Structure 1
Amino acid sequence: MTAPLNPPTPPHGRPGYDPWQLPEGAHPDHHAGTERDEPLGREIRRAALTGLAVVVLGLLLGFLWSRLAPHVPLVSDGEAVYLKDTEGEQAIGADGTFALLALGFGVVTGLAAFLVHRAGGIAMVCGLALGSLGGAAVAWQLGTALGPSGDVVGHARTAGQGVTFDAPLELGALGVLVAWPVAALLVHLGLTALFGPREEPQAHHWQTYEG
């Protein structure tokens, strides 16, 4: 007597039988084709270190801004201080210089953050955003401190009547402080979307019935 060509039909009506059940001993995460996510604590530490490193870079941005930004010329007549060039655009140029430098720093830090952790994640995004904003604030304060003296009256007395001197370096539009975090986040999120890891489709494991 020969064995039947077709395998026996599994008893679907048998109590406890589940045709979608994974093979015994299999773990749900093993069939996903991807590794388990790293511990949350490690991800938060990496994001915090990234944010701290970005804040430190604000020192470099502040130094460059103090050296590259155009200064506003002032002159004193012995009684009051006036703009030497009333139609000059040096103040706008200082804001523009800061914005351009901040955008460049944003591109670099966004790329660096992606290379450090290609998987991205909300912790890395938050660390990068807060670090960039903190770095911009540090750059603003340092650039102002490294620029011409903020004591305009004292500076005018030292320079003398009719002698041109530089006004303090300031930001006229504080909105440029967000140029760094905006650029960093756009670059980081764009690279993550284009080159970040992809989740592989889950392969369904069918349980075979014997007997």
Structure 2
Amino acid sequence: MTAPHTPSHQPSADDSWAAPPSYAVAPAPGDDGPGLPAELIQAAVVAVVLTVSGALLGLLWEKLAPRVPLVADEKAVFLKEIEGEQAIGADGTFILLALGFGLVSGIAVFLWRRRGGIPLVVGLALGGLLASVVAWRLGLLFGPGDDVVARAKEVGPGVAFDAPLKLNALGALLAWPIAALAAHLGLTALFGPRDPEYALHAAWPPEAYPHPHPNSPNPGLRKDGPGA
């Protein structure tokens, strides 16, 4: 008759492998932002301010854009310089001014809030686009009139006069929002707040850890915590 099999080691209350500690993941304290309602208000403020500032771009464009000279005779109105590049220069002036305004607005919004967020980015892009539209229409309004025939009769045959200001490439309206987003996103990536770091917090304090058993596969464990 064989004796019943008995384990060589009976677990005791002070066995370190009886109840391993549990761990919980907790985020480190950080800035959670002002909240969605406040972010929406800030985005609306940014969009309105940028839209109003588009008037300044329109005035500068009207003053700095090169003019297209026209000349008339008794029958029709003609370009004075057939190979002139003034029309292209008007588009280029608008794009350069819009890029400058976009960079300034993107930097200003970052310095104001120093953080990103979808509402703020949307407000920045929408405000830049609306500002470009305001600048475009205001430049046309303050530029030379659209009635070319009346202008030709006013100045007389053979006398040069300015053609109406035009924006031939409507894609130039995207220069402001693109530059603003690039500046803001770049500054946010370099200097904005980082995501909260996560740390492991043991459910047991170190002083509550049990003594390791002599037959433990890792006798190097000490009372002050695993792996210490």
TM bracket, shorter-chain basis: 0.7 to 0.9
In structure 2, the partner of 1:61 is: 57
Higher strand share: 2
Determine helix, strand or coil for the equivalent of 1:203: strand
| 2-structure distance, mates of 1:129, 1:93 | 25
CA-CA distance at 1:8 after TM superposition: 6.5
Structure 2 unmatched runs, 5+ = 1-13, 211-228
| 1-structure distance, mates of 2:43, 2:76 | 51
| 2-structure distance, mates of 1:10, 1:208 | 14
Give the TM-score, by structure 1 length: 0.86
Match of 1:171 among 153, 167, 173: 167
What amino acid is aligned across from residue 109 of structure 1 in structure 2? S
Determine helix, strand or coil for the equivalent of 2:198: coil
In structure 1, the partner of 2:19 is: 12
Residue by residue over 1:143-198, the C-alpha shift from the partner in whole angstroms, topping out at 9 and shown as x without a partner, is: 01110011111111111111111000000111111111111111110000011011
Measured on the aligned residues, the alpha-carbon RMSD in Å equals 1.9
Task: Tell whether 2:193 aligns with 1:192.
Answer: no
Residue by residue over 1:4-47, the C-alpha shift from the partner in whole angstroms, topping out at 9 and shown as x without a partner, is: xxx7648538xxxx71258xxxxx5xx42212332100011001
Q: Percent identity?
A: 53
Structure label with greater radius of gyration: 2
CA-CA distance at 1:199 after TM superposition: 2.2
Structure 1 unmatched runs, 5+ = 1-6, 23-27
Give the TM-score, by structure 2 length: 0.80
Alignment of 1:93-132 (within 5 A): 93-132=89-128
| 2-structure distance, mates of 1:78, 1:21 | 89
Determine helix, strand or coil for the equivalent of 1:86: coil
In structure 1, the partner of 2:9 is: none
Residue by residue over 1:87-141, the C-alpha shift from the partner in whole angstroms, topping out at 9 and shown as x without a partner, is: 1110000000000000100110010111111111111110000000000000000
In structure 2, the partner of 1:162 is: 158
Task: Tell whether 2:83 aligns with 1:80.
Answer: no
| 2-structure distance, mates of 1:41, 1:11 | 51
